[in-house]
Amino acid sequence: MKLWKLLLSLVIMGTLLLAAGCGNGEEAKEKLEDKEKENGEETAIITLFFLEQKEKAFHLAEEEREVQESEATPQTALELLLEGPESEEVETIIHEETELIDINVEDGICYANFTEELTQGAYGSEIELNLVKSIVHTLVQFDEIDKVQFKIEGEIPESIAGHIYTGEPLDEEL
């Protein structure tokens, strides 16, 4: 009789242990997310816009990056854009030696100041348009930014490569 109770107890305990481990992991995932929130390690997604070529046409393609919530800033977004894509299916349009000098936001306008290398790519009108769109779309995803004003070495250029007017702040409808 004691053996029977012991055996029954072991079977019940084993069943409970198996049942506890057969979940879909949602509870464990929620606990991990709660712990991350407590530790201040929340993450955010930043969307970057790169160039994709399909047949003979170019268009923008999105690439998402996960960053720490505290680093989800326009400056981080531009720095990641300048680093280039992670995917081999898209490419950067921005001249590889281009650097971000500084960035600031006032009254919904983001002033993005780049080194002169931004103007030194081999840009036709379609590529220049996509270059400008790439930067503008990457920045206007932030709630505090409605428009983007390009600067090169502190000066507002009429154009990056002679085709697209950048003398005034641009929005995503350009």
> What is the rounded distance in angstroms from the CA atom of residue 65 to the CA atom of residue 47?
6
Largest CA distance in the chain: 94
> Into how many domains does the chain fold?
1
Question: Tens digit of pLDDT for each residue in 148-171?
Answer: 999 999 999 999 999 999 999 999
**Does residue 51 lie in a domain region?**
yes
**Does residue 31 lie in a domain region?**
no
Q: What is the pTM of this model?
A: 0.76
Residue 62: enclosing H or E segment and its boundaries?
strand 57-68
**Does residue 44 lie in a domain region?**
yes
Which positions ≥6 away from 36 have C-beta within 8 Å?
Answer: 42, 43
Question: Tens digit of pLDDT for each residue in 97-114?
Answer: 999 999 999 999 999 999
- Say what the pLDDT of residue 121 is: 80
Tokens for 6?
Answer: 């012991």
**Does residue 121 lie in a domain region?**
yes
Tokens for 57?
Answer: 């046409």
> In the chain, which stretches have pLDDT less than 70?
1-40, 122
- Say what the pLDDT of residue 55 is: 82
- Please, how many CA atoms are within 13 Å of residue 59, restricted to the half-sphere of its CB? 6
* Separation of CA 23 from chain center: 32
**Does residue 3 lie in a domain region?**
no
**Does residue 166 lie in a domain region?**
no
> What is the rounded distance in angstroms from the CA atom of residue 47 to the CA atom of residue 61?
10
Closest CA to 111 of 67, 150, 156, 62: 150
**Does residue 157 lie in a domain region?**
no
Domain with 104, as residue range(s), is 39-152
**Does residue 159 lie in a domain region?**
no
Report the CATH number that the domain containing residue 82 is assigned in CATH.
Answer: 3.30.300
